[in-house]
């Protein structure tokens, strides 16, 4: 097995507050990895360290090593901009760019990289929108504002936007928490397709969702990762009492 993402002894601080304590995690290529745990335990904090989003948060500090494809993303000489291009992110709230059309939203990352060829852009847009299971719904209104779509469609547009740059790793922070059950089901279905082309780390509060879609599962509590393993094991035979309590809904 070749892990594409290796996080080792990661500590994250907000000022003096120690939000993540010595967390290590490996993610294999082509898998879906769920991060679960009660609110405020540090899932978002950890996820955002994986594409150096904390560089933008004043006062936040990340220690330890995180390697993507063998390269230390916090290493000297690493350009966070180039690095982020290989690690996509989907946010909790759908956030299409309001001044761009559906098409422009989808290929925004490619345009940044300097791709100007109309045909290529169109081809990538179609592939990404199909990949995000949105193509059939928007193919007739590619030039309409991205904001004109429904919430569920907007979120799939954001997934398409992240897919268009063909990231090695896709980070998703509660991507379905703002969506209705039908849109959620669509996006869950997507995951099993998406992992054929990328590796997914997903934060979720929904135990069934984690059980349904993920291959591995990491349980966070108060900044610690208390358990990590194959999803089946976490849900069927948890090693840690606290994990058992959490997945069975006894606290959180």
Partner 1 sequence: MSQATKRPPGRGLSSRSDDVFRTVIIGLSLVIALIFILSIYQLATVSWPTLSTFGLDFYTGRTWDPVNDVYGAFSMIIGTLVTSLIALAISVPLAIASALFIAEYSPKWLAGPVGYLIELLAAVPSVVYGLWALVVIAPKLAEWQLTYFTDPAKLETYSACQELWLQGTSSFQCFFVPSAADGRGLALATLILTVMILPYTASVARDVINLVPRDQREAMYALGATKWEVISKAVLPYARAGIMGGVLLALGRALGETLAVAMVIGDSQAPLTSLWQNFSTMASVIANQFGDAQQELHRSSVLALGLTLFFMSVIVNVLARIVIKRLTPEGIK
Partner 2 sequence: MSAVRQDVVALRRSAPAISPARRLTNALMGGLISLGTLLVVAPLILIFYYLLTTGLQALSPEFFTQTPAPLGETGGGLKNAIIGSITMLSMASVIGILVGVAGGIFLSEYPKHPLMPTIRMLSDVLAGIPAIVMGLVVYGLLVLRFGFSGMAGAIALGFLMIPIVVRTTEETLKLVPRATREAGLALGLPRWKVILQIVLPAAAGGIVTGIMLALARVAGEAAPLLFTAFGNNTVTTNLTEPMSALPVEIFKLATSAYETDRQLAQAASLVLILLILITSLLARYFSSPRKYRAK
Ligand X SMILES: Nc1ncnc2c1ncn2[C@@H]1O[C@H](COP(=O)(O)OP(=O)(O)OP(=O)(O)O)[C@@H](O)[C@H]1O
Residues near Mg ion (CB under 5 A) are 44
In angstroms, what is the minimal distance from the CB of 219 to ligand X? 11
Is 99 an interacting residue with respect to partner 1 (CB under 8 A)?
A: yes
Name the residue nearer to ligand X (CB basis): 43 or 84. 43
74 binds partner 1 (CB under 8 A): no
Q: Tell me the C-alpha distance between 108 and 119, whole Å.
A: 15
Judged by beta carbon distances under 5 to 8 A according to partner kind, the member of partner 1, ligand X, Mg ion, none in contact with residue 99 is partner 1
Question: What are the residues facing 32 on neighbouring strands?
Answer: 200
d(CA 121, CA 141): 16
Whose Cβ is closer to Mg ion: residue 48's or residue 195's? 48
Binding site for partner 2 (CB under 8 A): 2, 4, 29-30, 69, 79, 81-82, 85-86, 112-114, 165-166, 168, 196-199
Q: Which does 88 bind (CB under 5 to 8 A by kind): partner 1, partner 2, Mg ion, none?
A: partner 1
| Near partner 1 by CB under 8 A: residue from 98, 232, 237, 239 | 98
Q: Is residue 61 involved in binding partner 1 (CB under 8 A)?
A: no
53 binds partner 1 (CB under 8 A): yes
22 makes contact with partner 1 (CB under 8 A): no
| Interface positions, 1-40, toward ligand X (CB under 6 A) | 14, 17, 19, 39-40
Cα dihedral value 219, 221, 227, 230, nearest 10: 0
Exposed e or buried b per residue across 230-242, where buried means at least 16 C-beta atoms within 10 angstroms of its C-beta: ebeebbeebeeeb
User: What does 238 interact with, of Mg ion, partner 2, partner 1, none (CB < 5 to 8 A by kind)?
Assistant: none
Q: Which residues are paired to 67 by β-bridges? A: 6, 72
Site string for ligand X, 48-87 (x = CB under 6 A): ---------x------------------------------
The residue within the footprint of partner 1, chosen from 22, 64, 97, 224 (CB under 8 A), is: 97
Contact criterion met (CB below 8 Å) for 113 and 85:
yes
Q: Which one of residues 41, 102, 171, 219 is an interface residue with ligand X (CB under 6 A)?
A: 41
Residues near ligand X, by CB under 6 A = 14, 17, 19, 39-45, 57
């Amino acid at each position: 097995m070749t892990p594409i993402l290796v996080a080792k002894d990661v500590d994250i601080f907000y000022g003096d507050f120690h939000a993540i304590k010595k967390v290590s995690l490996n993610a294999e290529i082509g898998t879906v990895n769920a991060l679960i745990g009660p609110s405020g335990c540090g899932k978002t904090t950890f996820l955002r360290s994986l594409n150096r989003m904390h560089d933008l948060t004043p006062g936040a500090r990340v220690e330890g090593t995180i390697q993507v494809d063998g390269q230390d993303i916090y290493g000297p000489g690493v350009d966070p901009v180039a690095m982020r291009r290989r690690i996509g992110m989907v946010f909790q709230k759908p956030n299409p760019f309001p001044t761009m059309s559906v098409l422009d939203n989808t290929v925004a990352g490619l345009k940044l990289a300097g791709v100007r060829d109309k045909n290529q852009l169109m081809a990538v847009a179609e592939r990404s929108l199909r990949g995000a299971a949105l193509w059939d719904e928007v193919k007739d209104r590619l030039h309409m504002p991205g904001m004109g779509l429904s919430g569920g469609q907007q979120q799939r547009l954001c997934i398409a936007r992240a897919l268009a740059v063909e990231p090695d790793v896709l980070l998703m922070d509660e991507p379905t928490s703002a969506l209705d059950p039908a849109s959620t089901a669509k996006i869950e279905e997507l995951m099993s397709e998406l992992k054929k082309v990328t590796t997914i780390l997903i934060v979720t509060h929904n135990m069934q969702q984690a059980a349904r879609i993920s291959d591995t599962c990491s349980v966070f509590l108060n900044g610690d990762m208390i358990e990590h393993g194959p999803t089946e094991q976490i849900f069927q035979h948890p090693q840690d009492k606290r994990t058992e309590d959490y997945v069975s809904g006894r606290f959180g």
